[in-house]
């Protein structure tokens, strides 16, 4: 095996796409002023829903849809507490992650008791090697989110809600609506990312299978300076480093595996920290807003 | 053009006087200063109560039986392997001994200790910690609760009420390594581990020793995931092992191993081995055999000795000879093996079982 070949590119895409999709969800929420720590939990909910619907119907399309919608439902729960009841977003997000891990685990064991043989979720077929609906979908999502935020009136309203909620409100922007919308859309992205893990990458559900990807997405948004292009580059870098790291382990080099497992995190952090420059979060991020006349 | 390029907001540079005004407004509950709206603590409480309430749904209610047994596992009991076998053992104890049983999933050393202490304090007579990683926590808690028996499935620490139950899975992986090296075309074998703990590393060590006994020049590559759940990483790591030239692979990765079987099934031209349970059905086209553990009967045996007051704390070693460790061949693929390999494997199994040959294992 060459260390670098086409297989490495495909592995990079598989490892990067769920991160990129989840990060787009986080980006939408954060640009509207909502700090969504619960991405990991939303991914996990989406993954279980995609697995359940996928194995029941055999349709990857329905399964992806179910994953996204479940992500929306989890995001709605988050929004009820954070946007409506004005609970602390960090505490709520952490609670949501714990809740999602427990709830998906319990639901999975109820739905598929140990006596039932494990079944595979339907796999999404590749159109060409390395090219499938999820790769294209993620690319479109990134371009779409970027264009929405930068070039549309609604995108401007979203950014205004995140930067200066009161000023935006005084200009007639419906801040609450923008934040709700972005949080729910972010949940859809996270749910889709979870569905990708099931329908594309592993064809199965395992409790806790997101393994911290939601937090990596969170970090990518911050270190990518809230810009879609940089975030995707970060995701690709992370995916490539991770794929490469597995290849280095497979080569049987005398490098401690813990060091290799660390490289994607270190490398991505290093590159983004060096090249991102000064990152400024949206000014009104994680500040509750209540319209008062 | 980005909205984000705004200058620093005037509110941030408010003079002290303005801040005082804002504070006064805030206290009166009127006005529109930006920092006035604070997150509510009470809502946070509700969120957490909800999260923990629902998370706790997985825990079993307190059983009524006089003899009570609990199990702590390091990850999901739905892994078709190491943890599922233990859970089945717990259910068998309930069925055969009429015991009240409880199970808890614990992931960190702190959770191990809390789990042990919790069950011991509630008067459970027997608590299993399922894996090498539980032994330090078990030793700590065993000293505090002398009336509860603690069993760790692996390890070496013995106390009056604590004993390790060591499954000699190495005896099976040694044979599988021997067979693997005999049939490998590339002369390179692969091992996929979840987290590098001595009990997992030891099964790979025996696998490699078995492989070298068949072909001294064979190369064995070991890859770890740093997780028992990351099924996507397991798939990528397995694909990497295969593309690096390994054509016979074994795993010890619990739930994440689903990705191992996915990748192997996809690659096609490989042979893989399951571990801890008969996993031949997970990828029947490529899985030649599984190194199996009959955890349930071992669990029932030790539980019965505790129930009858016969328990003596000493390391419990269980292997091929006890019928607890075994090799489950996948018949159609086993039939494809050269006859010499089949015979040598069965002979080796017999020699290990009779004690004529001792399989190397890591000292831990």
pTM metric for this prediction? 0.85
A161 chain-B contacts, CB cut-off 8 A: none
A26-83 pLDDT, tens digit each: 999 999 999 999 999 999 999 999 999 999 999 999 999 999 999 999 999 999 999 9
Given an 8 Å threshold on Cβ–Cβ distance, is B232 in contact with A197? yes
Sheet holding B271-276, edge to edge: B219-224, B188-193, B248-252, B271-276, B287-293, B325-329
- CATH 1.10.3470 corresponds to the domain A6-113+122-275: yes
B233 chain-A contacts, CB cut-off 8 A: 211, 242, 246
In the prediction, which pLDDT does B46 show? 58
Kindly calculate the radius of gyration of chain B based on its CA atoms and give it in whole angstroms.
Answer: 27
Alpha helices in chain B (DSSP H): 16-28, 41-55, 82-97, 109-121, 135-144, 169-183, 198-214, 231-243, 257-267, 295-307, 331-336, 339-354
Q: Does A105 touch chain B (CB under 8 A)?
A: yes
Given an 8 Å threshold on Cβ–Cβ distance, is A250 in contact with B84? no
B202-234 pLDDT, tens digit each: 999 999 999 999 999 999 999 999 999 999 999
| Confidence band for B107, pLDDT divided at 50, 70 and 90 | confident
CB count within 10 Å of CB A83 equals 21
HSE of B20, CA atoms in CB hemisphere, 13 A: 3
CA distance A131 to chain B (A): 17
With left for phi above 0 and alpha for psi between -120 and 50, is residue B270 left, alpha or beta?
beta
Decide: B171 and B329 in contact? Cβ < 8 Å.
Answer: no
A112-169 pLDDT, tens digit each: 887 677 778 888 888 887 789 999 999 999 999 999 999 999 999 999 999 998 888 9
For chain A positions 17-56, those within 8 Å of chain B (CB to CB) are 18
Query: Alpha-carbon distance A25 to A37, whole Å?
Result: 11
Nearest chain A residue to B5, by CA: A280
Facing B231 at nearest CB: one of A7, A209, A292: A209
Give residue limits of the domains in chain A: 6-113+122-275
Residue B17 scores a pLDDT above 90 = no
In the prediction, which pLDDT does B31 show? 40
- Domains of chain B with CATH codes: 64-167 (3.40.50.2300), 169-293+330-354 (3.40.50.2300)
A290 chain-B contacts, CB cut-off 8 A: 37
Whole-number mean pLDDT of chain A? 91
CA angle B186, B189, B192 (to 5 degrees): 145
What is the percent of chain B with per-residue pLDDT over 70, rounded to a whole number? 82
Query: Alpha-carbon distance A234 to A224, whole Å?
Result: 7
Residue B324 scores a pLDDT above 90 = yes
Mean pLDDT across the stretch B138-150? Answer: 96
Interface test with A, best of B46, B47, B239, B251 (most A CBs within 10 A): B47
Phi then psi for residue B272, to 5 deg, are: -130, 160
Query: Alpha-carbon distance B287 to B349, whole Å?
Result: 19
CA distance B259 to chain A (A): 6
Q: Does A226 touch chain B (CB under 8 A)?
A: yes
């Amino acid at each position: 095996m060459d260390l670098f070949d086409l297989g490495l590119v495909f592995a990079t895409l598989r490892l990067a796409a769920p991160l990129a999709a989840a990060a787009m969800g986080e980006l939408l929420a954060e640009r509207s002023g909502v700090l969504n720590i619960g991405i990991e939990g939303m991914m996990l909910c989406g993954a279980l829903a995609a697995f359940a619907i996928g194995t029941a119907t055999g349709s990857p399309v329905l399964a992806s849809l179910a994953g996204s919608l479940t992500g929306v439902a989890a995001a709605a729960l988050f929004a009820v507490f954070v946007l409506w009841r004005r609970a602390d977003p960090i505490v709520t997000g952490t609670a949501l992650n714990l809740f999602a891990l427990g709830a998906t685990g319990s639901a999975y064991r109820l739905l598929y008791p140990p006596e039932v043989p494990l079944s595979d979720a339907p796999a999404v077929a590749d159109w060409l090697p390395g090219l499938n609906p999820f790769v294209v979908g993620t690319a479109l999502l990134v371009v779409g989110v970027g264009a929405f935020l930068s070039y549309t009136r609604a995108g401007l309203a979203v950014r205004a809600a995140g930067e200066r909620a009161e000023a935006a409100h005084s200009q007639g922007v419906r801040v609450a609506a923008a934040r709700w919308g972005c949080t729910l859309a972010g949940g859809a992205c996270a749910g889709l990312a979870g569905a990708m893990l099931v329908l594309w990458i592993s064809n199965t559900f395992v409790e806790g299978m997101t393994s911290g990807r939601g937090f990596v997405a969170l970090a990518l948004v911050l270190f990518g300076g809230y810009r879609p292009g940089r975030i995707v580059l970060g995701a690709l870098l992370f995916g490539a480093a991770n794929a490469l790291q597995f290849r280095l382990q497979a080569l049987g080099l005398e490098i401690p595996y813990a060091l290799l497992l660390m490289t994607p995190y270190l490398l991505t952090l290093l590159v983004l920290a060096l090249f991102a420059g000064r990152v400024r979060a949206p000014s009104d991020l994680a500040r509750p807003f209540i319209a008062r006349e | 053009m980005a909205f984000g390029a705004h200058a620093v907001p005037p509110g941030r540079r408010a003079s002290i006087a303005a801040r005082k005004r804002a504070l006064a407004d805030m206290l009166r509950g009127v006005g529109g200063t930006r920092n006035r709206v604070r997150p509510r603590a009470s809502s946070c409480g509700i969120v957490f109560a909800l999260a923990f309430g629902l998370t706790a749904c997985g825990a079993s209610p307190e059983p009524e039986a006089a003899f009570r047994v609990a199990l702590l596992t390091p990850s999901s009991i739905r892994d078709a392997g190491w943890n599922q076998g233990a859970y089945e053992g717990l259910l068998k104890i309930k069925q055969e001994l009429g015991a009240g049983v409880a199970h808890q999933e614990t992931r960190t050393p702190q959770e191990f200790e809390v789990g042990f202490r919790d069950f011991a304090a509630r008067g459970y007579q027997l608590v299993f910690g399922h894996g090498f990683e539980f032994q330090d926590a078990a030793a700590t808690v065993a000293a505090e609760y002398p009336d509860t028996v603690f069993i760790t499935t692996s390890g070496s620490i013995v106390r009056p009420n604590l004993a390790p139950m060591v499954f000699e899975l190495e005896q099976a992986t040694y044979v599988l390594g021997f067979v693997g090296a005999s049939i490998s075309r590339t002369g390179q074998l692969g091992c996929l581990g979840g987290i590098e703990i001595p009990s997992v590393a030891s099964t790979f060590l025996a696998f490699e020793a078995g492989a070298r006994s068949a072909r001294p020049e064979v190369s064995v590559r070991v890859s770890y995931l740093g997780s028992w759940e990351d099924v996507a990483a397991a798939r990528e790591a397995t694909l990497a092992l295969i593309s690096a030239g390994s054509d016979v692979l074994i795993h010890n990765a619990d739930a994440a191993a689903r990705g191992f079987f996915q990748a192997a099934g996809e690659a096609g031209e490989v042979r893989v081995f399951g571990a801890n349970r008969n996993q031949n059905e997970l990828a029947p086209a490529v899985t030649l055999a599984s190194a199996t553990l009959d955890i349930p009967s071992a669990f029932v045996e030790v539980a019965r000795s505790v129930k009858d007051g016969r328990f003596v704390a000493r390391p419990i070693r269980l292997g091929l000879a006890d019928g607890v460790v075994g090799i489950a061949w996948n018949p159609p693929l086993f039939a494809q093996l050269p006859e010499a390999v089949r015979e040598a494997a069965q002979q080796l199994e017999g020699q290990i079982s009779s004690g004529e040959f001792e399989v190397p294992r890591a000292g831990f």
